[in-house]
Amino acid sequence: MISPATLAIVPLKIGTAGLNEPVWTGVIVFGFVTLAIGYLAFVRREFGAGIVLKLGTVLLFLLTLLSYFWPSRPWPH
């Protein structure tokens, strides 16, 4: 049986990040927002997305990658 304390470790673990560790919260948040904004910008025509939303999707995707690959830029740099 999984205890509530064990379950609490998961959000705690992915909600924190050391200086040179992958930022899992960033991967989740930026990834989710990228998908949502990308859907509105590129799929839903009635939204009439402009260049800002389209470029924003690309920027958010780059930030998702940066969240995951953060340790490849160890501090100090």
Partner 1 sequence: MSTDLDLSGEDRTGTGRATGTGQYVVKALAHGILIVASALAIIPFAYALLTSLKPEEKIFSTMAQIIPAEPTVMNYVNIWMQNPLDRWIFNSLLLSAGVVFFTLLLDSLAGYALAKGDFKGQRFVYLLVVGTLIVPPQAIVVPLYIEMSQFKLVNTYWAVMFLYIANPFGVFMMRQFFLSVPDSYLEAARMDGCSTLQIYTRIMLPMAKPALSSLAVFTFTFIWGAFLWPLIILSDSAMYPLQVGLAGLTGQYSSQWGQLMAAAIIAALPVITAYLLAQKTFMEGIALTGSKG
**Which residues bind to partner 1, rule: CB under 8 A?**
5, 8, 11-12, 15-19, 23, 25-26, 29-30, 32-33, 36-37, 44, 46-48, 52, 60, 63, 66-67, 70, 73, 75-76
Three-point CA angle 13, 37, 45, nearest 5°? 155
What distance in Å separates the CA atoms of residue 2 and residue 17, rounded to the nearest whole number?
Answer: 24
CB of 60 vs partner 1, minimal distance in Å: 7
CB of 45 vs partner 1, minimal distance in Å: 10
